[in-house]
Structure 1
């Protein structure tokens, strides 16, 4: 969190292109006006895209400074909440978690996935992205990443009660401009 607190304006102002292909696939699975939680919205780039698609967006971030930067971009309030504080119950139709849950400590990820599951209505959808790896660690900016394998991630989602779990792998990059192997997860929230 220290990195985002100290670098919020520069991080939010960077020329980041939203992942339009994944966003389009996500949006195509939702009803018009669906309630979507943009979990860890960062600078609000994807929230703006989702808003323009006519969805009812609730953006949130764990960093107060990033939340304020996102508010300036999208023109609406951004909730400040950490993943471990999520208490919503069946409020959303979908969750967009682009490169955010990858910061949850490995030991805490199963509980966070249960909390996110609980925030969705039955049949709700999640789209989440993780940097692939075999063990947790920090990048050159000091940011923590859980660096999961696809198998470990599948197990975490199954344990938390998700169904129809699909994990796609792709090469790309990130803020650090390093080549990155990404794991893109889609899953559904079953009824409790």
Structure 2
């Protein structure tokens, strides 16, 4: 997210409602991600939202560093998981070889298309060798906004695979599934797995 856009405003202004909404935990994706990591592995979560995924990963014995770009959402997540949430904007991620896994469930979909290669490079650098990356995106062919004014990059699987491949990612796997979102509209989702 950029600092001055309606996407950031939405999450800050609606943090309590968004964080406490009825949401099905993505158990299958979480379990598959965690199964690919060593026990107790270090995980960076990009965009923790209300903190439900972080809480689950922590309960499974993993060393999770939850982050979010929204100060208000971070407060909601802290209340749930009982540990600090780092305020982090994707474009300021600047660590190297620090984590075994990175979990970015429905967060990088807000990165402007032009900035996505840089953010994915930053993500790549933050992982240890052979580290595992998970992300989900709303699929499409062109960037746009939803009814709440939130920006989405809406990538196609082909477009996103090319960016990841050019960025040095290995073992790229991409699946598509129908689902929904906070706006209640039918959504085609892209589930991305890759390795450093």
Q: What is the Cα deviation at residue 46 of structure 1?
A: 0.4
Matching residue of 2:113: 106
Deviations 1:154-187 (A, max 9, x none): 0111122111100001111111111110000000
Work out whether 1:174 is the aligned partner of 2:181.
yes
Q: What is the Cα deviation at residue 78 of structure 1?
A: 0.3
Normalising by structure 2, report the TM-score: 0.95
C-alpha contact (below 8 Å) 1:163/1:187 kept by paired residues: yes
Work out whether 1:62 is the aligned partner of 2:69.
yes
SS at match of 1:72: helix
Work out whether 1:152 is the aligned partner of 2:159.
yes
C-alpha contact (below 8 Å) 1:33/1:56 kept by paired residues: yes
Normalising by structure 1, report the TM-score: 0.97
SS at match of 2:174: strand
C-alpha contact (below 8 Å) 1:43/1:67 kept by paired residues: yes
Matching residue of 2:25: 18
SS at match of 2:149: coil
Map of 1:135-146 to 2, 5 A cutoff?
Answer: 135-146=142-153
Mapped to 1, the partners of 2:169 and 2:195 lie a distance apart of 6
4+ long deviations beyond 4 Å: none
Map of 1:14-163 to 2, 5 A cutoff?
Answer: 14-163=21-170
Mapped to 1, the partners of 2:170 and 2:100 lie a distance apart of 15
Structure 1: 5+ residue runs without aligned partners?
none
| CA-based RMSD | 0.6
Mapped to 2, the partners of 1:97 and 1:69 lie a distance apart of 18
Structure 1 window deviating more from structure 2 (152-161 vs 118-127): it is 152-161
SS at match of 2:106: coil
Q: What is the Cα deviation at residue 30 of structure 1?
A: 0.9
